[in-house]
A = this chain, B = another copy of it.
């Protein structure tokens, strides 16, 4: 496979029939909205090999009820992978297999929280994540961020204020690495400060690391909050949705064995076993064979091309209209503007480009827009950026004329 396999955004989107996949952009529109991978980046052939390989290896055990926390071979592989990447010891007892990050958040919201409690969230954050919490009656309360992520002093104050008002805090939910939507990576110093605040107050941190393996600039991935804390007081959520495909519905969480045991010791797991048994064994085969790492390297290169195509083309000629910091990983470019976000998004739509208003993810001092570079090939992203440049510059001159 190579980037040239991509035959353009429309043909790919059309290959996703409505009714099979979750959402298909309107025909003729370049979709920079959802955090999806471009169809040509999803490793269909690898999975077509992995399932039969797992079924051959494990036989009937792959179709039986899986160990409640997840099959040990899978848990051992991911624990070992994390320990090698980050240093602090991590073993199978730190791992619970989930059906992805949404499922993990839902599990935490049902298993570790009570309706009416507060969840501290980032000023900007994953919109559907907050909806999962709200569905369970949890009340999200936003904590201000700065250029390094969540502000530790603001977190400290939010905890104190919430508790002073007699409210209980279920946990704080944050994504310090290749943050959705801003692309931010909190440096290690900031991470330690956040951990110290949480530990001082005894507040559990839930670390959403959906994009953490998607660093695009070749450096080492940042050590997770969970790793820094030795898996005490932090539940780290990981998923294969952003690297292998969300249709697998496979992820895992890393936590203290007591929390893993508490989540798995429920009727849901006692009855059904592993959250996604046969798929976890298929992915275990990809991990052990090295195919996952080869794919990940390839995917990072493809995403780097896409990020660069969008960032370079947007970066020229939109000074004073939108500004952004090129993210070091993940799927998204986060634009700040002086223009009203609705005007930006509407102008983009008129140019047949779907962009998401930043207010969907939170609010701050400036209007914002999120653009995903994950769903289109570089040439389409370059063309889209040029079109955005034209329509947004036109908006600016229009506003100068008719403010």
Residues in A lying within 8 Å of B, measured CB to CB? 12, 15-17, 19-23, 36-37, 39-40, 42-45, 47-49, 51-52, 55-56, 58-68, 71-73, 99-103, 105-106, 110, 115, 128-136, 241, 244-249, 266-268, 270-279, 281-282
Contacts and interface: CB of A to CB of B under 8 A. Distances in A.
Contact of A21 (B16, B23, B66): B66
Contact of A66 (B22, B64, B66, B266): B22
- Candidate in A99, A245, A249, A270 with the most chain B CB atoms within 10 angstroms: A249
B274 A64 contact: no
A39 B51 contact: no
Contact of A61 (B20, B61, B65): B20
A21 B278 contact: no
B65 A22 contact: yes
B278 A248 contact: yes
A63 B48 contact: no
A136 B135 CA distance: 14
Given A19-B71, A247-B274, A278-B248, A102 B39 contact: no
A23 B248 CA distance: 25
A73 B18 CA distance: 11
Q: How many copies of this chain does the complex contain?
A: 2
20 contacts: A20-B67, A20-B281, A22-B67, A39-B60, A43-B63, A44-B60, A48-B51, A49-B52, A60-B245, A61-B247, A62-B245, A63-B247, A65-B241, A99-B272, A110-B135, A129-B271, A133-B267, A135-B266, A247-B278, A248-B277
Nearest to A49: B52
Given A20-B58, A39-B60, A65 B246 contact: yes
Nearest to A63: B245
B63 A42 contact: yes
Contacts of A134: 267
Contacts of A282: 51
A268 B133 CA distance: 9
Contacts of A272: 99-103, 241, 246, 249
Which of A44, A272, A273, A281 is packed against the most chain B CB atoms within 10 Å?
Answer: A272
Contacts of A22: 64-68, 273-274
A244 B278 CA distance: 12
A271 B131 contact: yes
Given A64-B16, A99-B275, A131 B56 contact: no
B62 A247 contact: yes
Contacts of A249: 99, 272, 274-278
A271 B128 contact: yes
Given A247-B273, A267-B128, A61 B99 contact: no
| Interface-central residue, A20, A102, A275, by most chain B CB under 10 Å | A20
Nearest to A41: B60
Contacts of A59: 15, 39, 44
Given A20-B72, A42-B60, A63-B47, A247 B52 contact: no
Contact of A102 (B23, B133, B241, B267): B267
Contacts of A23: 65
Nearest to A244: B63
Contacts of A102: 267-268, 271-272
Given A47-B51, A49-B52, A128-B270, 13 more contacts: A17-B61, A19-B71, A39-B59, A39-B64, A47-B63, A48-B55, A51-B282, A63-B246, A65-B247, A128-B271, A130-B267, A131-B271, A135-B268
A260 to B, nearest CB: 14
The 4 A-B pairs at the shortest CB distance, nearest first, are namely A63-B245, A131-B267, A19-B72, A39-B60
